[in-house]
Amino acid sequence: MEFKFILMRKTHRSFYRVLRFINFSFIAVLIGCSQQAPINKEFSTGIPFDTNTALATYTLPYLEPYSSLSGFYPLDDGQEALLARLAMIQAAEKSIDLQYYIYRDDNTSSLMTWALYQAAERGVRIRILLDDMQSRDDATLATLSSHPNIELRLFNPFENRSFRLLGFVGDFDRLNRRMHNKAIIADGAFAITGGRNIGNEYFAANDTVDFGDFDLLLIGAAVADITVQFDVYWNSRPATPVEYLVDNIQAPTETQLAQWHQTLENYFKDSAYITTLAELPLAQNIKNQSLDFYLAEAVVVYDQPSKVYAKDTNALLLHQITAVLEQAESDFLLISPYFVPTKNGAKALADAAREGLNVTIITNSLASNDVFAVHGWYAKYRKMLLEGGVKLYEVKVDPSLKKDRSWLGSSQTSLHAKTFIIDRHTVFVGSFNFDPRSAYINTEMGVFLDTPEFVEHIYQQMDTGLIKNTYRLALNNGEIIWIDDHNAVQFDSEPNASIWAKIGAWLSGILPIESQL
């Protein structure tokens, strides 16, 4: 099956109702699948929104006049993204649900885990669902889950815990399929979803690489929908309690807890990173209770968890996204770090541009891409796209640039945001990359928003951000050139990329691996 997005001219403004129907029509089926779990585990659902909690009280002035809408605050800065999560965790009174593909064992992740543990200590119910692709210390996870208020499940786990790679030999098709969804929900009142995982590189706390990413802090109707999505995955067959994977589980001792706290204190005590958190616009807005939420109709969409074991299902998120893309009439802006359109997808985009659709694509350059195999296959379609009239931009890696609060990237930055905009009013934010892996292999999620005001803000930022932070690609006598409009420089080959990266990308592009990217 080919990865294919067909862009057509259609006038149809009721797609939000259609998507909401699609979103909820599968819930009964999904819960049915979850009840077929091969292990005995407790079924649970999100704790309903309670107007008496502090977080709920905070949202009511924004939402009372607009009960059917959702409010959102864009998190395009890594530090603000961490601060928002910590603020939610620390303010939660009843429940926190957390779902991620990657959850690192580093400083910011440990700080967030400590906040979760402290929330559990004050009686908050914590449910943590992590994909099992990342190798972690099972004993540490089990120790965390030993707290009476914390449950931790691993999605689609490896049976061989010591030699995980050996599992691929006999069980590749299952283990190759991962949960890429990303969400955190507090008290049914606030949620965050988007492209970020949990780790230093996602929160602007890494000295070597900063993933320029994008999340939404959400309130209102979308939070309930994200909670339903979490429940579907939490109760699904692949979600396995960590206790089934670990023997001799022991609760942390007081000494271990004290050491954990001391380690965090020593690391962050004189940290400029932590000091500047209090100076962020988000921090001031939270303090003054003056968060400036955009209000919009929102539709949460997601793959079924059965995508990892029933691959022939027709209920793919890809189909929901394609249905929306088909409505594009004037503009299509795509921001994707891992862009592998395939031949059919590239042709559809080029044809749409020839027919008058203004198609703009922003992705990583070879130098900023952390997966050169992806770049090798994307590069095969650049000429086709440019010949069709698609505007193509690649993120720079330029040490001379001053680091900005921008998800378009800056010095030492790799683009990681995943979003697209249709006709300057409909925006999608989520975990979905425009590549075969997101389309057919991994599970994904996201949210559609009808928000012309916010889209206009994005375009205003982009007007200057593209010139400063990206290369504009063009054709010169049939050959691709990279134009640095900010410095008035032109390149005839991949800028700032090492010879080894170029060789690696080229070799990847001739290997039969496109369907896995």
- Per the CB < 8 A criterion, the answer to whether 183 and 46 are in contact is no
Q: Is 58 helix (H, G, I), strand (E, B) or coil?
A: helix
Distance CA 447, CA 27 (A): 17
Tokens 């005590």 — which residue?
A: 269
∠ CA 496-196-333 to the nearest 5 degrees?
Answer: 65
DSSP, collapsed to helix, strand or coil, labels residue 54 as helix
Strands 445-450, 391-395: pairing is unpaired
What residues are annotated to the active site?
A: 180, 182, 187, 416, 418, 423
User: Max CA-CA distance within the chain?
Assistant: 70
Q: Please report, for residues 89, 182, 282, 298, 401, the alpha-carbon distance to residue 83 in angstroms, rounded to integers and kept in the order given.
A: 10, 17, 8, 24, 25
Cα–Cα dist 302/22, whole Å: 10
Give the H or E element holding residue 192: strand 190-194
Structure tokens, 33: 């699948």
Residue 82 near residue 108 (C-beta atoms within 8 A): yes
Residue type, 44: S
Residue 48 is given by DSSP the state P
CB contact at 8 A, 281 and 290: no
3-state secondary structure of 274: helix
Q: If we measure between CA atoms, which residue out of 313, 403, 336, 400 comes closest to residue 33?
A: 313
Sign of CA dihedral 451, 216, 470, 442: negative
H helices of 146-289, where? 167-175, 221-234, 254-268, 272-277, 281-287
DSSP string across 331-343: EEEEE-SS---HH
In total, the chain counts a number of residues equal to 517
Q: How many C-beta atoms lie closer than 10 Å to residue 376's C-beta?
A: 26
Q: Beta strand pairing status for 358-364 and 331-335?
A: parallel
Exposure letters 95-121 (e unless 16+ CB within 10 A, then b): bbbbbbbbbbeebbbbbbbbbbbebbe
Element (H, E) at 23: helix 15-25
How many CB atoms within 10 Å of residue 321? 23
Residue with tokens 């996204």: 321
